[in-house]
Amino acid sequence: MQIEAFSELFPLLTAANPETLEWLLSVAVEHEYPASRAVLMEDAWGNAVYFIVSGWVKVRRLSGSGEDVVTLAVLGRGDFFGEMAILDESPRSTDVIALSAVKLISISAQRFIQTLFKDPQLHHRMLQLMVRRLRQTNLRFQLRHQPPAVKLANTLVSLGENYGYDSQEGVEIFNIPFKDLADVTDIGVEETTKIMEKLDSKGWIKIDTVGHTVSLVNLKQLTHLAGKV
């Protein structure tokens, strides 16, 4: 991967200087995982930061009962994970599972921490993105009393804005399993199924079960439903 493509693909690295990018590329390790494969396991000690080159993953955690798992987030191309465990030097509190075939690159914890100390712009950019994640968590909390359709529209719009591809049908995202979509949105699976089917019948989205994609056909209406305009 060229330095320019490396920087453009990952928002975290847009502020890094060329020397930092060259160094990170030189020490990066490539990984490929099929769908449903565990990328990281809970309680494993953090030893690297992972960057998503392509594909989709879900971040999940065991529920309080210890019997069920809850999906906390869905991440796609250009995002990263694993930073929390290396920053506080503790075991991971979540699992990361490949939703689709996924390509990743990893950078060891020691080298990544060294890079943060050497490049203050990268350090600052990482703090900005972590604050953005915190704001997204706060938004979910603020939406907790909103109707399920509003909450689900927010999830779809956010996934489209962060990871979507432009296609002939609209903004294309991965067809996330309804259980995971329900967890992330904090609504029931039955509610998620009914709302997605209704949005599909209205022509606001197009679900392609064969191609494993969901096209956000009418992003304007979805954004309006989400209350973002």
pLDDT in tens, 117-143: 888 888 888 888 888 888 888 888 888
Verify that 104 and 158 share a domain, yes or no. Answer: no
CA atoms of 152 and 162, how far apart (whole Å): 15
Annotate 148-213 with DSSP letters as a single string.
HHHHHHHHHHHHHHHH-EE-SSSEEEE---HHHHHHHHTS-HHHHHHHHHHHHHHTSEEEETTTTE
Mean pLDDT for the stretch of residues 161-179: 95
Verify that 128 and 194 share a domain, yes or no. Answer: no
Q: Contact at 8 Å (CB) between 56 and 133?
A: no
Q: Which residues contact 154 (CB under 8 A, 6 or more apart)?
A: 139, 143, 185, 226, 227, 228
Higher pLDDT, 60 or 88: 60
CA atoms of 215 and 206, how far apart (whole Å): 5
pLDDT of residue 94: 79
pLDDT of residue 68: 79
Verify that 121 and 188 share a domain, yes or no. Answer: no
CATH number at residue 181: 1.10.10.10
Verify that 40 and 86 share a domain, yes or no. Answer: yes
pLDDT in tens, 25-47: 899 999 999 999 998 876 566 68
For residue 82, what are its two tokens?
């694993």
Which of residues 93, 123, 141 is at a domain's end?
A: 141
Number of domains into which the chain is organized: 2
Residue 101's identity, in one-letter code, is A
CA atoms of 152 and 190, how far apart (whole Å): 12
Mean pLDDT for the stretch of residues 18-22: 89
pLDDT of residue 187: 95
Verify that 137 and 164 share a domain, yes or no. Answer: no
Q: What are phi and psi of 202, to 5 degrees?
A: -75, -10
pLDDT in tens, 64-117: 555 678 999 999 999 998 887 677 666 666 789 999 999 999 999 889 888 888
Verify that 167 and 190 share a domain, yes or no. Answer: yes
Domain with 10, as residue range(s), is: 3-141
- Per-residue confidence at 229, pLDDT binned at 50, 70, 90? very low
